[in-house]
């Protein structure tokens, strides 16, 4: 059995007296229990250590059961725990266990009981061992057997990586994500996983049955706005990221999006409409913000991530496509010249979810690398501005889309603005 010890319970063990009763909520089919209450000695009432939010508590459907005791013990007892645990099928004689818990030991009945032992001096006694100060046992009339135990850390979430990853820089970043579909939902999860502090989601669509095969959201979210479903998912999985869901259309509500860009560090567009990509790039450039566009081309054969920086020598999406076509390549978005709101859609629907999510993760990495390079992390510099990823080999396509092997990743430089471009030239 695995006994989970939440932070509140661990804190109570560390500050209470020398022993007391123990209450667990147990799911025997799962071999799982969680500490729900403890007392100080037997005369004290068992005090709940359950979280205040009943709906979120562990094993919420299992009633608390007074099922054992907790003891303050000598550090050597936890060394015994590891030695016995390593020799499967063995146990610790009861006399040794009793000698390590000199105050308040309770004799077990015929079925024994669960026990938690707390050893405040274990780190002093065994400084190199990494032994935990809280462990679990099953105590019988003859011996004590180790039980698995897991103590909730005082720090969870992205801040656990504080000394290994630039958490503070990314927690202060604000990213707008346009498009909360297959690529967009996976991009949102990846950005939150990197530790982006604030995410604004923009998408007017609802989650429907056919979306489930590629989307990160589940069946229970059917019919809800995609941005709302995503916001709820991330609140549970990545609480370090604050999410603002906006059921807006980037074309129809361009004025509202434009106003929000003043408080945005970088914009990501994962929408599959050509017009939506053009509008997002246009708004970002006029606001002086970098835009990262992610999509799949040729029925999901090629993944593409474009970084459009508002720099003098970096052209917009239209300039990029025109320059490639002029150099002998092809235009993978043949309706790109259509007016805003009238462009056709890509043909991504034969792509499977994991391929789309692979592109999404590359887009999220591009966003995070751009942000970190900007604040002084040169090791995050990307090899180019335009990434092409072969989800299937495309040897027959014109350069630069002629990827020979599945998994090939090609980075290209930016191309300059075209004369007369309404996006790149000053209004």
pLDDT for the residue 207: 96
pLDDT for the residue 43: 64
**Are 41 and 76 in contact, with CB atoms under 8 Å apart?**
no
pLDDT for the residue 53: 62
Segments forming the whole domain that contains residue 89: 2-151
pLDDT above 90 covers what percent of the chain?
73
For residues 42 and 70, membership in a common domain is answered with yes
- From 117, 151, 185, the end of a domain falls on 151
Q: How many folded domains does the chain comprise?
A: 2
For residues 143 and 163, membership in a common domain is answered with no
109-137 average pLDDT score? 90
Q: Which residue has the higher pLDDT, 48 or 334?
A: 48
Residue 313 to residues 25, 70, 224, 421, Cα–Cα distance (Å): 63, 68, 42, 13
Range in 70-84, 117-131, 239-253, 295-309 the model is least confident about: 117-131
pLDDT for the residue 346: 46
For residues 62 and 172, membership in a common domain is answered with no
- CATH number of the domain bearing residue 350: 3.40.50.720
Banded pLDDT at 244 (limits 50, 70, 90) = very high
For residues 179 and 306, membership in a common domain is answered with yes
Range in 355-359, 400-404, 409-413 the model is least confident about: 400-404
Q: Cα separation of 365 and 86, whole Å?
A: 41
For residues 63 and 146, membership in a common domain is answered with yes
**Are 363 and 294 in contact, with CB atoms under 8 Å apart?**
yes
pLDDT for the residue 394: 83
**Are 266 and 289 in contact, with CB atoms under 8 Å apart?**
yes
Segment 258-297, tens digit of pLDDT:
999 999 999 999 997 888 999 999 999 999 999 999 999 8
Instruction: Count CA atoms closer than 13 A to 309's CA, side-chain side.
Output: 15
Taking alpha carbons only, the member of 94, 62, 78 closest to residue 147 is: 78
Would you say residue 14 lies in a domain?
yes
DSSP annotation of 18 reads S
For residues 300 and 227, membership in a common domain is answered with yes
For residues 123 and 194, membership in a common domain is answered with no
Dmax over CA atoms of the chain, in Å, equals 89
Q: Is the bond into 127 cis (omega within 30 degrees of 0)? A: no
């Amino acid at each position: 059995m695995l006994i989970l010890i939440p932070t509140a319970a661990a804190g109570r063990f560390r500050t209470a007296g020398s022993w007391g009763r123990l209450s667990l909520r147990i799911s025997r089919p799962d071999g799982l229990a969680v500490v729900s209450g403890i007392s100080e000695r037997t005369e004290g009432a068992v005090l709940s250590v359950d979280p205040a939010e009943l709906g979120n508590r562990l094993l919420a459907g299992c009633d608390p059961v007074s099922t054992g005791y907790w003891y303050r013990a000598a550090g050597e007892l936890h060394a015994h725990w590891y030695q016995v645990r390593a020799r499967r099928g063995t146990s610790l004689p009861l006399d040794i266990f009793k000698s390590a818990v000199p105050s308040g030991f309770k004799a077990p009945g015929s079925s024994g009981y669960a026990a938690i032992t707390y050893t405040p001096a274990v780190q002093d006694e065994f400084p190199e061992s990494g032994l935990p100060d809280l462990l679990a046992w099953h105590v019988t009339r003859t011996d004590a057997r180790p039980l698995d135990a897991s103590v909730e850390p005082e720090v969870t979430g992205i801040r656990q990586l504080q000394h290994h990853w630039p958490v503070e820089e990314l927690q202060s970043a604000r990213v707008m994500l346009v498009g909360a579909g297959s690529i967009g939902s996976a991009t949102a999860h990846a950005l939150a996983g990197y530790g982006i502090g604030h995410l604004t989601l923009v998408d007017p669509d609802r989650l429907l049955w056919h979306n489930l095969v590629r989307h990160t959201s589940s069946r229970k979210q059917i019919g809800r706005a995609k941005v709302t479903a995503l916001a709820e998912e991330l609140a549970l999985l990545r609480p370090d990221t604050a999410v603002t869901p906006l059921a807006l259309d980037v074309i129809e509500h361009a004025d509202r999006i434009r106003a929000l860009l003043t408080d945005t560090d970088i914009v990501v567009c994962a929408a599959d409409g050509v017009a939506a990509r053009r509008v997002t790039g246009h708004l970002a450039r006029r606001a002086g913000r970098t835009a990262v566009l992610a999509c799949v081309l040729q029925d999901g054969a090629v993944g593409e991530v474009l970084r459009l920086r508002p720099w003098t020598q970096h052209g917009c999406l239209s300039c990029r496509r025109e320059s490639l076509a002029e150099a002998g390549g092809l235009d993978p978005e043949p309706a790109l010249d259509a007016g805003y709101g009238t462009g056709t859609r890509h043909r991504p629907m034969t792509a499977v979810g994991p391929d789309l999510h692979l592109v999404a993760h590359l887009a999220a990495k591009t966003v995070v690398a751009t942000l970190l390079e900007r604040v002084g992390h040169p090791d995050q510099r990307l090899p180019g501005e335009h990434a092409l990823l072969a989800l299937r080999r495309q040897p027959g396509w014109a350069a630069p889309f002629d990827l020979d092997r599945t998994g090939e990743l090609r980075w290209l430089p930016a191309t300059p603005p075209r004369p007369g471009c309404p996006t790149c030239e000053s209004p």
